[in-house]
Amino acid sequence: MVQIKYLTLKLERDNIEKIINGDKRLISRVITYVENNEDNKHDILKTLYKYTGKAYKIGITGPPGAGKSTITDCLVKLLVKEGFKVGVIAVDPTSPYTGGALLGDRVRMTDSSLLENVFIRSMATRGSLGGLCKSVNDVCNILDASGKDFIILETVGVGQSELDIAKTADTTVVVLVPESGDSIQAMKAGLMEIADLFVINKSDRLGADEILTSLKNMLHLRNPGEDKREIGVIKAIASRNTGIEELLAEITGHGKYLKTTGLFEKKRCKQAENEIKEIVNSGLQKNFWNEKNRNLLEINLKKIVDKETDPYTLSEELFGQ
């Protein structure tokens, strides 16, 4: 309670300005506060929302071990070198980021400029996916309000969650490796649909050209939808910092394409729609499973197993019908 009071009070005064100017300690505290599902967290998010909208959001997804974190690491360094402020949200428990320290120093840059201009947050993939999407959106908004030019979202591409999280990004990069060759044919349509750009990482290994060809063939068969642009496929060796400048050029190119065709605004509207649905869904869940309904469920479980009642009737009772 003390913390709530402190934050709300401070937010009304000068701390808003500190967050907007990128005060790391305060940003960390606000994120933790929001992640912990504190009751008045929406007050904070409401206040910060009007400062959002400036950050360009890059989603990086793909199978575990494909090199997403290594690519993120290189990309962050390149962006900072070009004078940008960057936020990273890693929705992957195995991501090697700790307290702002990035992986090995592959690009010459003083640590202080990284420390000053980069904010990294790892998020646990705790339990429910729905809740996770909302938290990612919340953290994105906080980082956006804090003046980041780019936000990189790293998600491990294994299920529905990263497809949902990809909806948050302006440009979604799907990372594959030569070993993914066989699975490309079987690749979920979903992953194909969310990709604005492909990276064949670990091109130092055998099979990179083969996967490049089969991917391009597949992309020709793809239903282009509204986005008529040809999808870029880039080869990279992230562990040697190779292909990263090309990747950034493709991302920037995609962003420009979206803006000149009017698709960007549409995308942002779609993102807002998804965001609102996530907030409403999480609110419904929270309100619905109140003590009364949890008890009603509890006392009826045995009756369902004994066939004295059934799940359908019980759901109707829960809905108060």
Ligand X SMILES: Nc1nc2c(ncn2[C@@H]2O[C@H](COP(=O)(O)OP(=O)(O)O)[C@@H](O)[C@H]2O)c(=O)[nH]1
CB of 110 to ligand X, least distance (A): 23
CB of 171 to ligand X, least distance (A): 18
Instruction: Pick one of 30, 61, 68, 119: the residue that binds ligand X (CB under 6 A).
Output: 68
Residues that bind Mg ion (CB under 5 A): 68-69, 92, 95
How far is it, in rounded angstroms, from Cα 214 to Cα 24?
A: 44
Q: Copy the structure tokens of residue 144.
A: 């956006």
Three-state DSSP class for 201? coil
CB of 69 to ligand X, least distance (A): 3
Asked if 204 touches ligand X (CB under 6 A), the answer is yes
Three-state DSSP class for 90? strand
CB of 66 to ligand X, least distance (A): 4
How far is it, in rounded angstroms, from Cα 134 to Cα 306?
A: 38
Instruction: Pick one of 171, 201, 241, 300: the residue that binds ligand X (CB under 6 A).
Output: 201
Asked if 77 touches ligand X (CB under 6 A), the answer is no
Of the pair 70, 168, the CB lying nearest ligand X is at 70
CB of 144 to ligand X, least distance (A): 23
For residue 287, the tally of other CB atoms under 10 A from its CB is 9
CB of 218 to Mg ion, least distance (A): 25
Q: Tokens 């597949």 correspond to what residue? A: 218
Burial string for 83-110 (b: 16+ CB within 10 Å, else e) reads: ebbbbbbbbbeebebeebebbeebbebe
Asked if 239 touches ligand X (CB under 6 A), the answer is yes
Could you say which DSSP state residue 1 is in?
A: -
Of the pair 7, 151, the CB lying nearest ligand X is at 151
Q: Look at residue 66 and give the partner it binds from ligand X, Mg ion, none, a contact being a CB closer than 5 to 8 Å depending on partner kind.
A: ligand X
Asked if 238 touches ligand X (CB under 6 A), the answer is yes
Q: Tokens 């055998």 correspond to what residue? A: 206
Asked if 155 touches ligand X (CB under 6 A), the answer is no
Asked if 69 touches ligand X (CB under 6 A), the answer is yes
Could you say which DSSP state residue 179 is in?
A: G
CB of 217 to ligand X, least distance (A): 23
Q: Residue 147, class by beta-carbon neighbours within 10 Å (0-12 exposed, 13-18 middle, 19+ buried)?
A: middle
Asked if 125 touches ligand X (CB under 6 A), the answer is no
- Residue 136 backbone phi and psi in degrees, to 5: -60, -45
How far is it, in rounded angstroms, from Cα 28 to Cα 139?
A: 10
Asked if 178 touches ligand X (CB under 6 A), the answer is no
Asked if 70 touches ligand X (CB under 6 A), the answer is yes
Instruction: Pick one of 7, 11, 44, 66: the residue that binds ligand X (CB under 6 A).
Output: 66
> How far apart, in Å, are the Cα atoms of 224 and each of 196, 227, 230, 231, 245?
11, 6, 9, 9, 26
Chain contacts with ligand X (rule: CB under 6 A) = 64-70, 201-202, 204, 237-239
